[in-house]
Amino acid sequence: MSSPAVFLDRDGTLNVEKDYVYRYEDWEWVPGAVEGMRKLRGLGFRLVVVSNQSGIARGYFGISDVRALHDQVARDLLDKGIEVAGFYFCPHGPGEGCDCRKPRPGLILQAEKDLKIDLAHSYMVGDKRIDVQAAQAAGVHPILVGTGYGEKERATLPKGVPFVPDLVAAARQIEKAHKTDCKTAF
């Protein structure tokens, strides 16, 4: 049986936007990110991080560096009572033509297969238009947050895509939509 998830962009949504974060000591939580993740888990959503990591293709760091960072972040969150179902990342650079680099939906679709996710009842929260585009291409409900690049990207949003200040507000938005969904399902 499949279950809904909230796909989360990493840089600018969970951690403060900095150039090419790959070491845990450079990780800095966006204010409210952990609280928002806790609320989403409390609503019964699985959490899946999907992220472009072109620093790998550029030679700045390796795949093992990104995996080590994600493993530490996952341990950190588990210590706070928050489980992340998976971390998916694209190691390719812009223009390489892969299917996994957002705005393409490859990361979301791979997670759907691996984790048996119900995309029709899932959400994607990110700070860039490419996150919105990846969500729409995968059939997931997009939400743009104002953290990271979100405030700048707001003007490029397609009509009807919600914009909220941060992940806590996104969790509230999802909670409202989820309650409405549950009422109409019966």
Question: What are the catalytic residues?
Answer: 9, 11
Distance of CA 137 to the CA centre of its chain: 15
Distances, alpha carbon 178 to alpha carbons 33, 50, 74, in Å? 20, 22, 25
Tell me the C-alpha distance between 68 and 55, whole Å: 15
Query: Is 13 within 8 Å of 29 (Cβ atoms)?
Result: no
Residue 53, both tokens:
């990591």
CB 82 within 8 A of CB 41: yes
Task: Give the DSSP per-residue string, 61-85.
Answer: S-HHHHHHHHHHHHHHHHHTT----
Sign of CA dihedral 174, 177, 183, 186: negative
The rounded distance, in Å, linking the Cα atoms of 74 and 87 is 9
